[in-house]
A and B are shown apart, each in its own frame.
Chain A
Amino acid sequence: MSVSNLLAQFGDKYLLALLTTWKLTALAFVLAFAIGIVITIMRVCPIKPLRLAGDFYVQVFRNIPGAALLIILVYALPYLNLVWSYYICVLIATSLLPAAFCSEYLMAGMNTIDVGQIEAARSLGMTFFQTILNVVLPQALRSTVLQMTNLLVATMLTTALASQVPLKPTDLTGIVSYINTHAVGGVTAFLISALLYCGTAVVIGQLGNLIDRKVRILR
């Protein structure tokens, strides 16, 4: 099927699919970032149980396959009377996974900060939270822009999980399987989705480079 035929027949569906993928990616990334920061603060705080809980979270969600997590959320948790809509399940899965990596990147970013800075903050009488929020996190964020950009792309790729549940409107991966079961979309349907993913990834990458150059701390 030619590109023009395909777009005439499924063009509006493609647009919806692209918007679904973008929206899921943005929502999941914001949630992942928030969870990631909370987990990171837990992992460096002086309270041992919280540290361990934070480490445990990261190990679990770094290592569980996305498909396994989504299957558990969608099919297993209803047995515990925890029933969520497909959309919520996808959103939970696609934000819990990147959150673990977000925390790992922030921890690595923190280690680039000179210990002297923390000692200076402490001797100024700053509390743990003041040090974390005013000295450590801002610098950790500024030195992890590139990792976070990669994380945003990875989050977008993870949202392809949405194609595994019946979602309306479907996402960019789901639409390829939709078209191929309703018509013979062939390789064109695949290429359009793939190029939309890639295009988004390239734009995100360029923006990340731009931001990185602006905020990176030269040491």
Chain B
Amino acid sequence: MSTVNTSIRDALYEAPGPKARKRIAIATAVSLAVLAVLICLIVRQFYITGQLNAKYWSLFTKFSTWKFLGHGLAGTLEVALAAGVVAFVAGLLLMLGRISNSKILRGISMALIEFSRGVPTLLFIYFFFLIAPQFGLKLPAFWKISTPVALSAAGVVAEVFRSGVNAVPKGQTEAALSLGMRGCSVFFKIVFPQAFRYVIPSLISELVIVLKDTTFAYVVNYADLMQNAKVLISNYDALLSVYLVAAVIYILINYLLNKVSVAIARRMHVSSTMIMQ
């Protein structure tokens, strides 16, 4: 039983005997029935409220609908990518400050990281949407959404980088130093390339959070997937179906990103951390 690859999920019960098999079979049947009833109830609710009516769903047979949603999705991905790049750079700088030798720089970076991690994305968005314009800082909608999303991700990115740097064995730094390399080149030539490898999966998970946060683009009126869904809703008068489809698109994309993260983590034998915010 205790093979190397046994996870807890498999170890909790052994191959069942005849009695247990019977019990499991009954429980399986009962749970299937319960799940089926649940699904039926949901479908029934759709049916009696008329939401299964073809007029709410026929728009998805049109190419123009998908093209329009595709444009929105492109907008979402552009914002997410821009925010991801900004967060990457800002996170890298914060991490460098956090591990630097200067006490002041360390303190400032630590405070900024805590601030970035402790403040909700929406509050950052309101800052760029409501408050920054009062000071004459008028950004285009694209940056009004991607900057705050990036700022609220930067703190986590910095911590992810730092965990990667900490995972590189100390002996490597010592060896490089004793070969006569300078501290700076030790970090950028020896430590960081390895640290970066360790954290690629976690960075991809962080991209999922960035992508989710871009959903707030409607606050600043940027045409992302959600915003285009809204336009479709007013054109076709089909709210429930369009929002459900948009949600499924988001779920599928993030699901794929998570899968990629886990696959890379497995290939490189590093762990992929799950981050919620």
**Considering the complex of A and B, which 9 residue pairs feature the smallest CB-CB distances, nearest first?**
A160-B120, A201-B118, A63-B254, A198-B118, A154-B277, A65-B215, A154-B276, A65-B212, A67-B215
User: Is A110 in the interface zone, CB < 8 Å from B?
Assistant: yes
Q: Looking at chain A, what size class is its interface with the partner chain?
A: 35 or more
User: Is B24 in the interface zone, CB < 8 Å from A?
Assistant: yes
Listed in ascending order, the chain A residues whose CB lies under 8 Å from chain B are: 43-44, 46-50, 53, 59-60, 62-69, 71-72, 75-77, 79-82, 97-98, 101, 104-105, 107-108, 110-111, 113, 115-116, 118-119, 122, 128, 131-132, 136, 150-151, 153-154, 156-161, 163-164, 172-173, 176-177, 180-181, 184-187, 189-190, 193-194, 197-202
Listed by A's residue number, 12 A-B pairs whose Cβ atoms lie within 8 Å are A47-B24, A47-B27, A63-B250, A68-B226, A68-B246, A72-B247, A80-B46, A157-B120, A173-B120, A185-B131, A187-B131, A190-B131
Chain B residues numbered 207-257 whose CB sits less than 8 Å from any CB in chain A: 208, 211-216, 218, 226, 239-240, 243-244, 246-247, 250-255
Tell me the complex Cα distance, A81–B47, Å.
11
Please determine whether A49 and B11 come into contact, CB atoms closer than 8 angstroms.
no
Max chain A CB contacts within 10 Å: which of B28, B215, B254? Answer: B215
Please determine whether B215 and A186 come into contact, CB atoms closer than 8 angstroms.
no
Tell me the complex Cα distance, A157–B277, Å.
8
Q: Which residues of A contact B114 (CB under 8 A)?
A: 198, 201-202
Please determine whether B13 and A128 come into contact, CB atoms closer than 8 angstroms.
yes
Please determine whether B11 and A115 come into contact, CB atoms closer than 8 angstroms.
yes
Minimum distance in angstroms from B247 CB to a CB of chain A: 5
Please determine whether A63 and B258 come into contact, CB atoms closer than 8 angstroms.
yes
Minimum distance in angstroms from B276 CB to a CB of chain A: 4
Complex: chain B residue closest to A102, CB-CB? B276
Minimum distance in angstroms from A168 CB to a CB of chain B: 18
**Interface stretch of the complex, out of B2-10, B63-71, B177-185:** B2-10
Contact of A161 among B8, B115, B122, B218 (CB under 8 A): B122
User: Is B12 in the interface zone, CB < 8 Å from A?
Assistant: yes
Q: Which residues of B contact A200 (CB under 8 A)?
A: 118
Instruction: Take A194-B119, A194-B123 as given contacts and tell me if A79 and B49 are in contact as well, using a CB distance cutoff of 8 Å.
Output: yes
Q: Which residues of B contact A172 (CB under 8 A)?
A: 123
Tell me the complex Cα distance, A213–B27, Å.
41
Contact of B120 among A53, A76, A98, A197 (CB under 8 A): A197
Q: Which residues of A contact B1 (CB under 8 A)?
A: 115, 119
Q: Which residues of A contact B243 (CB under 8 A)?
A: 68, 71-72, 75-76
Please determine whether B28 and A48 come into contact, CB atoms closer than 8 angstroms.
yes
User: Is B274 in the interface zone, CB < 8 Å from A?
Assistant: yes
Please determine whether A63 and B276 come into contact, CB atoms closer than 8 angstroms.
no
Please determine whether A66 and B215 come into contact, CB atoms closer than 8 angstroms.
yes
Max chain B CB contacts within 10 Å: which of A160, A181, A187? Answer: A160
Please determine whether B215 and A176 come into contact, CB atoms closer than 8 angstroms.
no
Contact of B277 among A158, A173, A194 (CB under 8 A): A158
Minimum distance in angstroms from A134 CB to a CB of chain B: 13
Instruction: Take A69-B247, A80-B45 as given contacts and tell me if A160 and B2 are in contact as well, using a CB distance cutoff of 8 Å.
Output: no
Q: Which residues of B contact A193 (CB under 8 A)?
A: 123
Minimum distance in angstroms from B24 CB to a CB of chain A: 5
Q: Which residues of A contact B213 (CB under 8 A)?
A: 65
Tell me the complex Cα distance, A64–B13, Å.
33
Please determine whether B130 and A177 come into contact, CB atoms closer than 8 angstroms.
yes
Q: Which residues of B contact A185 (CB under 8 A)?
A: 131
Complex: chain A residue closest to B14, CB-CB? A122
Tell me the complex Cα distance, A67–B121, Å.
11
User: Is B190 in the interface zone, CB < 8 Å from A?
Assistant: no
Minimum distance in angstroms from B203 CB to a CB of chain A: 17
Q: Which residues of B contact A197 (CB under 8 A)?
A: 118-120, 123
Please determine whether A190 and B250 come into contact, CB atoms closer than 8 angstroms.
no
Please determine whether A67 and B240 come into contact, CB atoms closer than 8 angstroms.
no
Minimum distance in angstroms from A205 CB to a CB of chain B: 9
Please determine whether B247 and A59 come into contact, CB atoms closer than 8 angstroms.
no
Q: Which residues of B contact A48 (CB under 8 A)?
A: 28
Please determine whether B274 and A108 come into contact, CB atoms closer than 8 angstroms.
yes
Q: Which residues of B contact A198 (CB under 8 A)?
A: 114-115, 118-119
Minimum distance in angstroms from A111 CB to a CB of chain B: 5
Please determine whether A160 and B121 come into contact, CB atoms closer than 8 angstroms.
yes
User: Is B108 in the interface zone, CB < 8 Å from A?
Assistant: no
Contact of A63 among B118, B122, B255 (CB under 8 A): B255
Q: Which residues of A contact B214 (CB under 8 A)?
A: 65
